[in-house]
Amino acid sequence: HVSLMQRARRQCDIVVVSLFVNPLQFGPSEDLSRYPRTYQADRQACLKAGVNVLFVPDGKEFYPQAFQTTVTVDRLTQRWEGAVRPTHFQGVTIVVTKLLNLVRPHLAYFGQKDYQQYVVIEQMVEDLNMPVKIVRCPTVREADGLALSSRNRFLGKDERRQSTLLYHALSAGQKCIAGGERSGVKIQKAMAKVFQKQQNVSIDYLAVCDSQILEPLKRVDGQAVLLGAIRIGTVRLIDNLLVRIPSRAS
């Protein structure tokens, strides 16, 4: 998140950061109660990054008892995260709509790590003619490839070691494509092979998709996105890599 603030600071006159754990994007059996809440550390990070306004809404004020409006992006939310977490994206689109309406920014910055979320929000903004440009920022990683996430702190020592498997799997798919493979099924199998004989790890999905509509690709051509989600013990991790096949010169 700090990288998003830093980019916004370079490009904008005024930077506003929202700090809000949104209950609507957590399912009934998910980790809302234990999701990290580190206000003082977050506030200091915002100050250091040169943020002008830290917006910390009260949950009951943000969602009063009479609140009853939903915002739905249909097809883009049916697969992947939407299939595993059926109520998640409706919670995301509601909270982002409210934040954009309240702050009215010209630019809004989202990380690539939550790639499907980024695509869903971009579609929503386009469909509803919201006067804001959505900016995708690169995933920030540890030295061993693990994408930074608030949930990483829940990984034990052995789980932390296994956590790099997702990045290695996506990288295996990327390498497969760089080597000339174009079959979506074969690329997906190359990613899945990384998890063979791994205990305490389960795969939610590994997918080779069109980077705009997120549909599975039978054949990779142009730009694609490799998506993955796994569970290590009780911790769920997601990640992705964008890959582009250069067009042949005529």
- Only one residue has tokens 């399912």, namely 27
Q: β-strands 223-232, 201-210: how paired? A: antiparallel
Q: Cα–Cα distance between 39 and 19 in angstroms, integer?
A: 8
Average pLDDT of the residues in 64-75: 96
Q: Do 241 and 171 form a contact (C-beta atoms < 8 A)?
A: yes
Per residue in 22-61, pLDDT tens? 999 998 878 788 788 889 999 999 999 999 999 999 999 9
- Only one residue has tokens 């980077």, namely 211
DSSP string computed for 103-154: H--SEEEEEGGGHHHHHHHHHHHHHTT-S-EEEEEPPPB-TTSPBP-GGGGG
**What region does 29 belong to: left with phi over 0, alpha with psi -120 to 50, or beta?**
alpha
Q: What tokens were used for 247?
A: 């067009």
- Only one residue has tokens 């980024």, namely 118
Please compute, for residue 64, the number of CA atoms within 13 A of its CA located in the half-sphere on the CB side.
2
| The predicted structure's pLDDT at residue 250 | 38
| The predicted structure's pLDDT at residue 210 | 97
3-state secondary structure 159-173: HHHHCCHHHHHHHHH
Average pLDDT of the residues in 176-203: 96
Residue 12 predicted with pLDDT over 60:
yes
Per residue in 103-126, pLDDT tens? 999 999 999 999 999 999 999 999
Which residues form the catalytic set? 1
Average pLDDT of the residues in 212-219: 97
Q: Do 203 and 193 form a contact (C-beta atoms < 8 A)?
A: no
What is the model's pTM?
Answer: 0.94
Q: Cα–Cα distance between 32 and 35 in angstroms, integer?
A: 5
| The predicted structure's pLDDT at residue 248 | 61
Q: Do 78 and 54 form a contact (C-beta atoms < 8 A)?
A: no
Q: What is the mean pLDDT of the chain?
A: 95
Q: Which long-range contacts (CB under 8 A, 24 or more apart) does 242-249 make?
A: 242/112, 242/115, 242/211, 243/173, 243/174, 243/177, 243/178, 245/177, 245/182, 245/220, 245/221, 247/222
- φ/ψ of 202, rounded to 5, equals -125, 145
CB-based contacts of 233, cutoff 8 Å, min separation 6 = 156, 159, 200
| The predicted structure's pLDDT at residue 33 | 81
Q: How many residues comprise the chain? A: 250
